[in-house]
Amino acid sequence: QKEVEQDPGPLSVPEGAIVSLNCTYSNSAFQYFMWYRQYSRKGPELLMYTYSSGNKEDGRFTAQVDKSSKYISLFIRDSQPSDSATYLCAMRDDKIIFGKGTRLHILP
Amino acid sequence: DTGVSQDPRHKITKRGQNVTFRCDPISEHNRLYWYRQTLGQGPEFLTYFQNEAQLEKSRLLSDRFSAERPKGSFSTLEIQRTEQGDSAMYLCASSRGDSSYEQYFGPGTRLTVT
């Protein structure tokens, strides 16, 4: 079992829909949980990070961490075509481990 | 713009040649990281520096790879005797030492070995 599992998609949703992206993990030592957005042929861009369990909101984005289930989520409200990208979850104990990324397409 | 910069953005080389990539981190960041990303995968950690000291190297970093950060500012990643399997995006990131979970990435160098 990989340390971080993420469905690669692609996930296609209509503009304005709520998007839910998820990752599971196996290492209970992870304390920091991050979400990165990566546009094609660009470097990853840090969207949000969360320490331990709980929720964090930033504009249209909400990150949730459930350490008891080893499950993290990113919700995007009022999705826009410009949100079309690959979303990478990442987690840290002594170094950062990335998921494979989920390709998201927002259909106009 | 004071973000992380990488040079070159693209490099095409023939198998067996040596290549060197450069990364300039955000100026106040003392940690610098190198990652490799292949198609359909997330970035994989290669190595990192705190100031000029190289503190960790991944098993992925074979003897043909070497990284330096001589004055604790910019860093170089050299690949000797390139192989087709080295074709990938090489990403650099930087962070403050006390917040290594908050890494900022450069645009990457895309290497193609023919």
Q: How many CB atoms lie within 10 A of CB B68?
A: 14
Question: For residue A98, which residues of chain B lie inside 8 Å, CB to CB?
Answer: 42-44
CA of B88: how far to CAs of A61, A108, B39, B68, B82, in Å? 30, 32, 8, 20, 12
Query: How many angstroms separate the CA atoms of A10 and A102, rounded?
Result: 6
List the 68-87 stretch of A: residues with Cβ below 8 A of B. none
| Smallest Cα distance from B4 to chain A, Å | 10
For residue A60, pLDDT over 90 is answered with yes
Structure confidence at residue B97 (pLDDT): 79
Structure confidence at residue B100 (pLDDT): 82
pLDDT band at A1 (very low <50, low <70, confident <90, very high): low
Instruction: Dump pLDDT digits (tens) for A81-100.
Output: 999 999 999 998 778 899 99
Structure confidence at residue B72 (pLDDT): 86
Q: How many CB atoms lie within 10 A of CB A57?
A: 12
| Smallest Cα distance from B81 to chain A, Å | 25
Residue B71, burial from CB neighbour count under 10 angstroms (0-12, 13-18, 19+)? exposed
Question: Does the CB of A34 have a partner CB in chain B at under 8 Å?
Answer: yes
Question: Does the CB of B44 have a partner CB in chain A at under 8 Å?
Answer: yes
Q: What string of pLDDT tens digits covers the 114 residues of chain B? A: 579 999 999 999 999 999 999 999 999 899 999 999 999 999 999 999 999 999 989 988 889 999 999 988 999 999 999 999 999 999 999 998 778 888 999 999 999 999
Instruction: Dump pLDDT digits (tens) for A11-31.
Output: 999 999 999 999 999 999 899
Rg from Cα positions in chain A: 13
Structure confidence at residue B71 (pLDDT): 87
Structure confidence at residue B1 (pLDDT): 54
Contact A99 B107 (CB under 8 A): no
Question: Does the CB of A100 have a partner CB in chain B at under 8 Å?
Answer: yes
| Smallest Cα distance from A58 to chain B, Å | 16
Do residues B113 and B86 make contact, with C-beta atoms less than 8 angstroms apart?
Answer: yes
Q: What is the mean pLDDT of chain A?
A: 94
Contact B45 A100 (CB under 8 A): no
Contact A96 B101 (CB under 8 A): yes
First to last CA, chain B: 34
pLDDT band at A53 (very low <50, low <70, confident <90, very high): confident
Question: Does the CB of B56 have a partner CB in chain A at under 8 Å?
Answer: yes
| Smallest Cα distance from A101 to chain B, Å | 6
Question: Does the CB of A8 have a partner CB in chain B at under 8 Å?
Answer: yes
> What's the mean pLDDT in A61-85?
96
Strands A11-14 and A102-107: parallel
Which one-letter DSSP state was computed for residue A108? -
Query: In this predicted model, which residue has the larger pLDDT, A64 or B97?
Result: A64
Structure confidence at residue A6 (pLDDT): 96
Backbone angles phi, psi at A97, to 5 degrees: -110, 130
